[in-house]
């Protein structure tokens, strides 16, 4: 079969070589973007008088017909046409005749594919931003209902201090807020148009790149034609931002897996996001959380894969850069799916407040309250720290907790202790007293939730 670029060639590649080099098995994902870019390009060619209006209208009608067929999943792609661009061009020529070949005037597949990927990320990054907002809203709702639910806070996975469960959830809200900001910031680079840069050197035709850019919803154009066709920074940035997001999701996955275990029993994950065992009837496995945790490595791999592809490629376009798409497609699918799953998991999880509260009374996470108590009475904190450490050791030796220690033991340890110490040791009181800005005190958590709601209203 004759190639659209085959004039210079006397032989054709064997079928297996064509299959190895073809990108159509995966870049057909760009069909809508490719047609959208072509519609803008032909409109620009008509505006600039490069194509006759009759030809422009015929090409537009043909592209719109292909666009509808694409929406109806009625297009059939061929490996022999290599990629999405040549497939669409060949289909267009079959629909409207040789005039369809005029569509490629003033552009190259190099600027065409770059345009397609900018459009693809423009659409999907905006969707991801909306999904992050939905996930944040689910976190805020759960937090609002559990401000006074007390949970052990951990450092080194050892119980550290009691905190509000809402405060813990809201930590993830602010992580996601940073993720959202990064995606929004990246749109400045995504919303640039490479269309009209040609293969690398521009074109002799009097095109209007700003006009086609405006039709596609881009804010600006690339200033350098070589940079326009060789730049994949915007994809690397997307993969980097997505890796950061998935890292945050993975951390919450790990906590939900722990919290739902028999050892913790702090939460129960909804049946829709869990599975059973083929051999152990009692099992309820947090599979979706585990799967998202695992998919994080997949997204990291896509980032490092593209960085490795790009690190040794000279300017401008090289066939290596065909490897920029599959990781991008896969990351978009993974991030969107993970956010949708997580929103459902958070919104539907059941919180076991009694189990959480009981856990805070069976540890020494209130020890800092003792040290702060003594420091507030004028004792240097380091001395207070040592006194409390010895009291903790006494409790460990006797196999009970600080709230169980008789008052005379406190008085013997330090004359500054008064009987109000037991109020300070209560986990609920300990949490509620921490009202420094950004702290776990209930008043501060309520304020943080209010601020979060205001952020979500602005989106």
Distance from the first to the final alpha carbon of the chain = 52
**Catalytic residue from among 156, 278, 415, 436:** 156
**Catalytic residue from among 145, 261, 277, 376:** 277
To the query of whether residue 277 is one of the catalytic residues in this protein, the response is yes
C-alpha dist (Å) from residue 133 to 128, 168, 353, 386? 9, 18, 26, 46
CB 162 within 8 Å of CB 366: yes
SS3 325: helix
C-alpha dist (Å) from residue 60 to 52, 92, 167, 291, 405? 12, 10, 55, 44, 84
Question: Which alpha helices (DSSP H) does 72-162 contain, by range?
Answer: 84-96, 109-145
Q: Residue 221 is encoded by which pair of tokens?
A: 């154009």
To the nearest 10°, the Cα dihedral for 256, 260, 262, 264?
60
CB 199 within 8 Å of CB 166: no
Q: How far apart are CA 125 and CA 190, in angstroms?
A: 9
CB 18 within 8 Å of CB 81: no
To the nearest 10°, the Cα dihedral for 225, 227, 228, 233?
180
To the query of whether residue 240 is one of the catalytic residues in this protein, the response is no
Catalytically active residues are: 156, 277
């Amino acid at each position: 079969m004759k190639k659209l670029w085959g004039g210079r060639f006397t032989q054709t590649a064997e079928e297996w070589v064509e299959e190895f080099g073809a990108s159509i098995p995966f870049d057909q994902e760009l069909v809508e973007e490719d047609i959208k870019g072509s519609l803008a390009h032909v409109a620009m060619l008509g505006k600039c008088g490069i194509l006759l209006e009759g030809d422009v209208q015929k090409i537009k009608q043909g592209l719109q017909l292909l666009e509808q067929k694409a929406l109806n999943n009625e297009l059939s792609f061929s490996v022999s046409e290599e990629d999405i661009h040549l497939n669409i061009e060949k289909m267009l020529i079959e629909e409207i005749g040789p005039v369809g070949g005029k569509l490629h005037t003033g552009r190259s597949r190099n600027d065409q594919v770059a345009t397609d990927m900018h459009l693809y990320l423009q659409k999907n990054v905006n969707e991801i931003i909306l999904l992050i907002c939905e996930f944040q809203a689910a976190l805020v709702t759960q937090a609002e209902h559990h401000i006074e639910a007390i949970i052990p806070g951990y450092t080194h996975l050892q119980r550290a201090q009691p905190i509000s469960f809402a405060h813990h959830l809201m930590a993830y809200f602010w992580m996601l807020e940073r993720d959202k900001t990064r995606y929004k910031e990246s749109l400045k680079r995504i919303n640039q148009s490479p269309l009209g840069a040609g293969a690398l050197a521009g074109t002799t035709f009097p095109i209007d790149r700003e006009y086609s850019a405006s039709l596609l919803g881009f804010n600006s154009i690339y200033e350098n034609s070589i940079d326009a066709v060789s730049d994949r920074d915007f994809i690397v940035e997307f993969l980097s931002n997505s890796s950061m997001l998935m890292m945050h999701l993975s951390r919450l996955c790990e906590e939900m897996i722990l919290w739902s275990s028999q050892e913790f029993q702090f939460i129960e994950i909804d049946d829709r996001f869990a599975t059973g065992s083929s051999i152990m009837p009692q099992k309820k496995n947090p599979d979706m959380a585990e799967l998202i945790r695992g998919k994080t490595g997949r997204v990291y791999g896509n980032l490092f894969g593209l960085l490795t592809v790009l690190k040794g490629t000279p300017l401008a376009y090289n066939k290596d850069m065909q490897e920029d798409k599959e990781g991008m497609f896969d990351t978009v699918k993974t991030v969107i799916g993970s956010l949708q799953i997580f929103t459902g998991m958070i919104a539907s999880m059941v919180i076991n407040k009694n189990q959480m509260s009981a856990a805070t009374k069976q540890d020494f996470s209130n020890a800092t309250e003792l040290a702060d108590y003594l420091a507030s009475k004028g004792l240097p904190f380091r001395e207070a720290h040592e006194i409390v450490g010895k009291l903790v050791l006494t409790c460990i030796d006797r196999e009970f907790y600080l709230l169980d220690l008789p008052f005379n033991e406190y008085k013997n340890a330090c004359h500054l202790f008064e009987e109000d110490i037991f109020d300070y040791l209560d986990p609920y009181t300990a949490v509620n007293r921490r009202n420094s800005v950004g702290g776990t005190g209930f008043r501060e958590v309520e304020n943080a939730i209010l601020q979060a709601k205001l952020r979500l209203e602005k989106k």
